[in-house]
Amino acid sequence: MTRSTFLRFANSSWRMRFFLFWKLPAAWFMGISVRSCDGREAVVALPYRWRSQNPFRSTYFAAQCAAAELSTGLLALTALQERPPVSMLVVKIEAEFIKKASGTLLFTCNDGDALENAIQKALETGEPQVFTALSTGRLPDGAEAARVRISWSFKAKGDGVK
- What CATH number did the domain enclosing 11 receive? 3.10.129.10
Q: Rounded to an integer, what distance in angstroms lies between the CA atom of residue 116 and that of residue 122?
A: 10
- Give start and end residues of each alpha helix (H) in 81-146: 112-125
Cα 85-154-28 angle, rounded to 5 deg: 85
What is the structure's pLDDT at 22?
Answer: 95
pLDDT higher than 80, residue 158: no
Give the other-Cβ count within 10 Å of 31's Cβ.
18
What is the extent of the structural domain holding 106?
A: 3-160
pLDDT higher than 80, residue 6: yes
What is the structure's pLDDT at 160?
Answer: 46
Q: Rounded to an integer, what distance in angstroms lies between the CA atom of residue 18 and that of residue 8?
A: 14
Average model confidence (pLDDT) for the chain?
A: 95
Question: Which among 65, 143, 153 is positioned nearest to 109, based on CA atoms?
Answer: 65
Number of domains within the chain = 1
